């Protein structure tokens, strides 16, 4: 209950405070390329309940029909303004609407698309006992996920075989350690990474 109250109040305050940025980014996205300012995608939430996940659109329209559902550094589908938004994780801001609605929390395992959840369905039976979130250990560890995926000839294969299993272990770590203090610590660490714009070492990849 405390977590939900915190999520609601914090997301509402941030949305109000950053509303001018939402307007500016929406205009820039529309001017930069054809299509809507926001990108919506079905993700899987707590208890395997699907929901519509919001982001600022950073790729060309129908990008998923023109390539993989994951992206690597240098992906030609990414727009000019999209590259900037992705670099500083600003494309994630509309997820605060998902927090406000109760689809996700500020802190929790990142919500995945149906395809990847089904591949690791047994693991997700444990993971989806909690609400997904905007940030957690895996988000911080894979701060530069697109750069990590760039090293694979087949980025999706690399994501399924190496990256996602590591993420799943980190999701389970969060579930085992979850508390209000853990959430606060992860929020602070996430903001620190964004401010420094300093990708983590990805030591688990070696």
- Positions of the chain with pLDDT under 50: 198-206
Quote the CA–CA distance of 76 and 150 in Å, as a whole number.
13
| pLDDT of 18 | 96
Residue spans of alpha helices (H) in the chain:
2-17, 19-32, 80-87, 95-101, 114-119, 121-127, 137-141, 145-149, 155-158, 164-177, 180-196
| pLDDT of 62 | 82
| pLDDT of 151 | 87
| pLDDT of 123 | 98
| pLDDT of 1 | 82
| pLDDT of 143 | 83
Task: Classify strands 105-107 and 50-56 as parallel, antiparallel or unpaired.
Answer: unpaired
| pLDDT of 61 | 87
Structure tokens at 145: 């996920």
Buried b (16+ CB within 10 A) or exposed e, 92-126: bbbbbbbbbeebbbbbbbbbbbeebbeebeebbee
pTM for the whole structure = 0.87
| pLDDT of 204 | 36
Neighbours of 6 (CB within 10 A): 17
| Whether 102 contacts 47, CB under 8 Å | no
Packing angle between helix 2-17 and helix 19-32, nearest 10 degrees?
60
| pLDDT of 197 | 64
Measured in whole angstroms, how far is the alpha carbon of residue 198 from the centre of its chain? 17
Q: What is the DSSP letter of 69?
A: S
Give the start-to-end residue ranges of the domains of the chain: 2-205
Buried b (16+ CB within 10 A) or exposed e, 163-174: bbebbbebbeeb
Quote the CA–CA distance of 108 and 104 in Å, as a whole number.
8
| pLDDT of 175 | 97
| pLDDT of 193 | 83
């Amino acid at each position: 209950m405390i977590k939900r109250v915190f999520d609601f109040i914090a997301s509402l305050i941030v949305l109000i405070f950053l509303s001018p940025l939402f307007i500016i980014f929406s205009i820039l996205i529309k001017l930069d390329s054809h299509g809507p300012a926001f990108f919506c995608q079905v993700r899987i939430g707590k208890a395997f309940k699907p929901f519509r996940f919001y982001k600022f659109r950073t790729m060309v329209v129908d990008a998923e029909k023109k390539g993989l559902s994951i992206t690597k550094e240098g992906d030609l589908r990414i727009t000019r303004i999209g590259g900037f938004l992705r670099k500083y994780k600003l494309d994630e801001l509309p997820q605060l609407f998902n927090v406000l609605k109760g689809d996700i929390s500020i802190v929790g395992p990142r919500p995945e698309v149906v395809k990847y959840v089904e591949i690791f369905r047994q693991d997700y039976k444990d993971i989806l006992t909690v609400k997904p979130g905007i940030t957690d250990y895996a988000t911080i560890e894979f701060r530069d996920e697109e750069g990590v995926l760039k090293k694979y000839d087949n980025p999706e294969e690399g994501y399924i075989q190496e990256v996602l299993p590591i993420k799943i272990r980190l999701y389970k770590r969060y579930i085992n350690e979850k508390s209000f203090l853990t959430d606060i610590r992860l929020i602070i660490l996430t903001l620190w990474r964004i401010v420094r714009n300093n990708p983590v070492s990805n030591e688990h990849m070696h």
